[in-house]
Amino acid sequence: MNPDSLPDNPKLFTLQEAVQIRNRPEYLSRKIVLTNGCFDLLHPGHIYFLREASKLGSQLWIALNGDQSVKALKGPSRPMLSEKFRAYSLAALDCVAGIFIFQSERLHAEIEAFKPDLYAKAGDYSMETLDSGERSALDLAGTKINFLPFLDGFSTTQLIANIHKASTEA
């Protein structure tokens, strides 16, 4: 299926559109939560994390690693699904208010522009492992950083390995 043949995604915005929404007067009194990730094959670990992150504030926004970004971070065989497919799947979750895609490996500029109130990362991250540039951008924006419990047993990399194993055994 061609990603351009998907129905419109009402939760997918450009960064500029997301910033315009964020700067509306009615949003200034809301606690906006931002997280980011590849979300290559959406699994229960992702859904658990996103639901928990959404409870931290009024709205959860996702900065979705674009295809170029995923390839740079995860290798030439990734992503498994295009950015538009991944954004479409994430938009189906009630806990997600909005999504914007970024193509760089890190989202310093996006954090500086969007200025979330809270930033959520899964518990496999810590202040020590969080990218220093992203941490600086979060500090400059006055954003509180939250690390949420990691749901053990779920990994896109492991899921892909299991799929490969199952296909060779068939």
- Per CATH, which fold does 3-169 belong to? Rossmann fold (3.40.50)
Average the pLDDT over 73-87 and give the result: 92
Whether the full predicted model's pTM is greater than 0.75, yes or no, is yes
**pLDDT of amino acid 30:** 94
Q: Are strands 118-122 and 32-37 parallel, antiparallel or unpaired?
A: parallel
3-state secondary structure of 130: coil
CB half-sphere exposure, 170, CA atoms < 13 A: 6
pLDDT surpassing 80 at residue 87? yes
Q: Taking a C-beta distance cutoff of 8 angstroms, is the pair 170, 146 a contact?
A: no
The domain locations on the chain are 3-169
pLDDT band of 164, cuts 50, 70, 90: low
